[in-house]
Structure 1
Amino acid sequence: MNEDILQNLQKVNLFRGLSAEEVRSMMSHAELRTYGSSASVFETGADERAIYFLVEGTVEIALEVPFSTEVILDELNVGSVFGESSFFHSQPHSVTARAVSEVTVARLERADYDRLLESNNLAACRMGANAAEILAAKLQHTDHWIADLLQAEEAHRTRERWHQFRQSLGHAFDNPEGGGFSTHAGWRE
C-alpha cells in the first residue's frame, strides 16, 4: 500500500491514537480492491465479515425497504469506513454498498483481524476500542433520533385525537327534532 493511502487512512477515526507504523502494520493485512461504477462492493444478505476503508471514489449505502423501493441512506467519500456492523457482529449485511464512481477500497477480513488480536497486537486492540466508541455514539444518536420521531408521532396522534374530539362535539346548531343545539353526544338545551 502506498504512502499516500496510508497517510489518508491514519486520519480515519477507527485508527485514532495509532502511529503511522501501527496503521501500516494493520493495513499490511488488508487487500486493495477496485470496483467499477455501479458495481456492488457487497449486497444485502451477503454473509461475509470484512471491513472496508474507502481509499478512492464514492460509495452509496442502500437499504431495501420491504414492499417499497430501495432507499439511499448515505453517500460515502474517501476516508469513510463501512461494513463495520457485519465485521464486529456476525450477521449478514443489512444494506448494499454500491460504487457511485470507480472506487478503491482496502478490505480487512475479520479472520485476519482475529489473528492480530490473538497475537496481542496493540493496534488491533485500539482499533476495537475505537470501534466500540464509534458504534456506541451511533447507537446514542439513533436513540435520540427515535425519541424525536416518537415525539413527533405522538404530536401527530394528539392532533388527530383533538380533531376527532372536535368532530364528536358536532357542528349543527339546529336540531331536526326541534329544541335547540345538539351534539353527537346527545346533549340538548
Structure 2
Amino acid sequence: MSSQGEPSNLVHLADISEQLRRSCVLFQEMSNAELKQVVTLLHTVEFPKDEVILREGKSVQQLWILIQGQCEVVKAVDEDGHQQLAVLETGAVFGEMSFFRPGPHSASVKSLTPVKLFSLPREEFDELIETGSSAAYRIAVNLNRILSERLARMDDWICKRVEGQEEKPVHKDEWKDFRSRLYSEWHF
C-alpha cells in the first residue's frame, strides 16, 4: 500500500478490469497494445476519506483516474463556503484541464470515501508523444471527448440558469454576448 497520496508501484495490465475499461472514457476504443503502453505510465495512489487530492488554485499537471471509491469536486464560493459541482464515481477522470494547460486548478477534488486512483504525470505523457505512439493520440482524443461532454453539460446548466432569471433580461443579454464572443472572437 502506498503512503497517503504518494505513488506506489506502476500499474500492470491485470490491474485494469474489464468493468473499468468499459466505464472509463479514457480507456475506451484503445487497442490492447495501446492500453499496454498507457498502463506502463500509470501509478497507483491511495487517499483516505476527506483528503484533498487537487486543491483549487494550486497547479499540478497530472491526470487522475478514479478506480475505487468516491470523490467530490468543490469550488470555493466565498471565504468559508464551498459549492459541490460533482460527485465522481469509479471510472471518472479529473485533472484534465491543467493536464493540457499549465495553470491553477479551477476547483478542488476531495475524497468522500477512501479512494484508489491511477495517476498519469504530464511528463510521462509527453514521453509517449515523443515516441509517436498511437496511445498518446487515443488519450488526447478521449480527453477531448470528456472535455466536450463537460462543456456541453455546462452550457445546458448556464442556459437554464439564465432562462430562469426572466425578470432580469440584462443577464440574458450578457450571456448571449459572452457566448457569441467565446465562439467567434476568442482564439486559443
Native 8 Å contact 2:20 2:90 kept in 1: no
1:22 aligns with 2:26: no
Residue 4 of structure 1 and its aligned partner are, at CA, apart by 4.5
Native 8 Å contact 1:51 1:87 kept in 2: yes
Q: Partner residue of 1:89?
A: 101
Alignment gaps of 5+ in structure 2 = 1-10, 170-188
Native 8 Å contact 1:9 1:23 kept in 2: no
Q: For residue 10 of structure 1, give the secondary structure of its aligned residue in structure 2.
A: helix
Distance 2:36 2:21 in 1: 9
AA aligned to 1:142 is M
> Closer, same or farther in 2 for the Cα pair 1:6/1:22, shift >3 Å?
farther
AA aligned to 1:7 is E
Residue 87 of structure 1 and its aligned partner are, at CA, apart by 0.8
Q: CA RMSD in A?
A: 1.8
Residue 148 of structure 1 and its aligned partner are, at CA, apart by 2.2
Q: Partner residue of 1:7?
A: 18
Q: How many residues are aligned here?
A: 157
Residues 115-148 of structure 1: CA deviation (Å, up to 9, x unaligned): 1111111011011012123212322332232222
Runs of 4+ in 1 over 4 A off after TM superposition: none
Distance 1:137 1:50 in 2: 20
Alignment gaps of 5+ in structure 1 = 159-189
> Closer, same or farther in 2 for the Cα pair 1:6/1:124, shift >3 Å?
farther
Q: Partner residue of 1:128?
A: 140
> Closer, same or farther in 2 for the Cα pair 1:4/1:116, shift >3 Å?
closer
Residue 68 of structure 1 and its aligned partner are, at CA, apart by 5.4
Deviates more, 1:97-106 or 1:141-150: 141-150
AA aligned to 2:18 is Q
Q: Partner residue of 2:112?
A: 100
Distance 1:99 1:75 in 2: 10
Q: Partner residue of 1:177?
A: none
Pick one of 33, 37, 46 that aligns with 2:58: 46
Percent of residue pairs identical: 26
Distance 2:70 2:137 in 1: 29
Pick one of 159, 168, 177 that aligns with 1:157: 168
> Closer, same or farther in 2 for the Cα pair 1:42/1:78, shift >3 Å?
same
Q: For residue 51 of structure 1, give the secondary structure of its aligned residue in structure 2.
A: strand
Residues 46-93 of structure 1: CA deviation (Å, up to 9, x unaligned): 211001011111111111113551111111111111111111221111
